[in-house]
């Protein structure tokens, strides 16, 4: 078994990112979708954080390597950490400001439970740029 992560839709807004990510379990050339996640990574706005979003060590059963919380490969939290790291490096190189924090430390995620919800969120992502001027954070 191996897990693969796919991005079904995304939009990059001036102060946040929306994406629908799909975790697919692949067994002997068969694919089973394990989670479809609606993700909102935002650099400025405080958001709700779910269990998958942070890496707090809650018990001795938590996966720890050398006293540090461990992100499972091909997990949503691993993907977000890698994305934020790569984007921060590029942004800070462009701005000539190395070491400056770009993102908040958390993100909001939501498991999509059915096809109706999936298509509703996809449509929201597609329309998000058109609605930017009505956003309360539009300046």
- Residues 28-63 have pLDDT tens digits of 666 566 555 665 555 443 333 343 333 333 444 445
Of the two residues 71 and 82, the one the predictor is more confident about is 82
Residue 7 has pLDDT above 70, yes or no: yes
Cβ proximity of 16 and 40 under 8 Å: yes
Is the pTM higher than 0.75? The answer reads: no
What is the per-residue pLDDT for 93?
95
**Could you tell me if residue 10 is inside a domain?**
yes
**Could you tell me if residue 57 is inside a domain?**
yes
**Could you tell me if residue 136 is inside a domain?**
no
Range in 1-10, 39-48, 65-74, 110-119 with the lowest mean pLDDT? 39-48
Instruction: Name the residue range of residue 90's domain.
Output: 2-128
What is the per-residue pLDDT for 95?
94
Burial class (CB in 10 A: 0-12, 13-18, 19+), 38: buried
User: Structural domain tally of the chain?
Assistant: 1
Cβ proximity of 132 and 125 under 8 Å: no
Of the two residues 69 and 17, the one the predictor is more confident about is 17
Which residues have a Cβ under 8 Å from the Cβ of 92 and sit 6 or more positions away? 98, 99, 100, 102
């Amino acid at each position: 078994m191996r897990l693969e992560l796919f991005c079904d839709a995304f939009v990059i807004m001036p102060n946040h990112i929306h994406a629908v990510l799909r975790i697919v379990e692949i067994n002997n050339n068969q694919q089973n979708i394990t989670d479809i996640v609606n993700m909102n990574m935002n650099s400025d706005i405080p958001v709700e954080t779910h269990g998958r979003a942070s890496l707090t060590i809650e018990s001795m059963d938590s996966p720890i390597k050398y006293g540090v919380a461990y992100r499972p490969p091909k997990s949503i939290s691993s993907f977000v950490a890698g994305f934020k790291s790569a984007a921060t490096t590029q942004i800070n190189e462009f701005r000539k400001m190395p070491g400056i924090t770009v993102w908040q430390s958390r993100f909001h995620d939501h498991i999509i439970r059915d096809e109706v919800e999936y298509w509703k969120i996809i449509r929201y992502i597609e329309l998000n740029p058109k609605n930017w001027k009505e956003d309360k954070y539009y300046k």
